[in-house]
Each structure stands twice: as structure tokens, then as C-alpha cells.
Amino acid sequence: MISRIDLRGDALPEGPALRDLLPRADFDVSAALEKVRPICEAVHHRGDAALIDFAEKFDGVRLDQVRVPAAALTRALEELDPAVRAALEESIRRARLVHREQRRTTHTTQVVPGGSVTEKWVPVDRVGLYAPGGRSVYPSSVVMNVVPAQEAGVESIALASPAQAEFGGLPHPTILAACALLGVDEVYAAGGATAVAMFAYGTESCPPANMV
């Protein structure tokens, strides 16, 4: 039986009563850590070789290389359905409008004659971004990750998405096309914890990122 609780105005409880009413779900990461730690350690110590092994284990495809060739990005954009391309271009336009307005400006406050304090916002040099894959394709994740990084002024942007056996070990073509539309040419066929570890530690083909 579903009950309706009115939390408007003075009816909203405080303190323990509110916590009892809206309990926070328990979140235990220990089980996940047991599985993720050896993956991260393998990528840390074995680099690209570990990425290739994990792509075979988790994605069912043996890669020749982890980085997506430039020709594959170009081909994906050329073969993209025109309606999908138009939708992606519009989503990029809207996202760029929003994130451009969020840019922080340098601000200087004169504290005393000859003395001032300046607050300056400086972007990180490099980010590693991730677009999920597997059973579904999320080009929106490419847009929502890449556009804020570009508008923030990040100079080096890399993106990873899982290898797809269906597409010869490349990420989904729509993911690649979205990257091409945004001018991102550093794309890797890596998924999940392997992709995060690749960006965190760096490998032979992928320099480490300042932020994932």
C-alpha cells in the first residue's frame, strides 16, 4: 500500500525525524573494489597490453591497438544518418550556449592602495572523458562531457568508449561521429574501470589526464 506524505511548509520534519522519513541508502563499495583493484593495477603496470587483454575478456574482441584511427572517425561522420547528425548538432549548440554562460571571469579586488587580490580561473591541461557503451549507445554523453571541457578552455581532450565486436573492435560509430563533430580526435576503445585506469595512470598510447 502506497501512502502519501505531505512535506510542504511546516509539515516538514527536522533532524532525526527527517532522516528516518527519508533514509539514505547504504552504499558499500568493498565488493566493487575487490573486482576493480586488480584491473587498475594491471593497467598501471602493463599498460596497453592490459587494455587489449581486458577488451578481449569483457568486450569479446581482440584489439590491434587501443587508440581509434583518425580514418575511423572520419568514416563514422560521413556515414552518420543525416537526422541523427542534425540532432547532435542541435544538442551541441544548446549545450555550448549553456556552458559558455557558466565561464568564470578573472576578478580583481583592490584591498589597499597598491595592494589587490586577483581570483583567476585556470582550466586543467588535460581531461579523460568516458562515454558508456555495451548494450546501448550514448552520444549524448559525448556532448555533455566534451562541450563543458571545451568551453572551460581545456586544451587536451581524450575520450574512451568500450570496444564493440560488432564494429571490428571500435566504439559504436555514433560515438565516433559525435567525437568527430566536436573535433575530438583522441579516442580510445576502452571501457569501464580499464578506461578510468588508463586515464589515471597513462599507458604507452595514452598520456595520463589531470581529471577523469
User: Per-domain residue ranges for the chain?
Assistant: 30-201
Alpha helices for the chain (secondary structure H) = 15-21, 30-46, 48-54, 70-78, 82-101, 139-152, 173-181, 192-201
pTM of the model: 0.84
Determine how β-strand 156-161 pairs with β-strand 187-189.
parallel
Confidence of residue 189 (pLDDT cuts 50, 70, 90): very high
pLDDT of residue 29: 78
- Centre a 10 Å sphere on the Cβ of residue 151 and count the other Cβ atoms it contains: 18
Q: What is the CATH class of 30-201?
A: alpha beta
pLDDT band at 22 (very low <50, low <70, confident <90, very high): low
Taking only the tens place, the pLDDT of each residue in 72-106 is 999 999 999 999 999 999 999 999 999 999 988 89
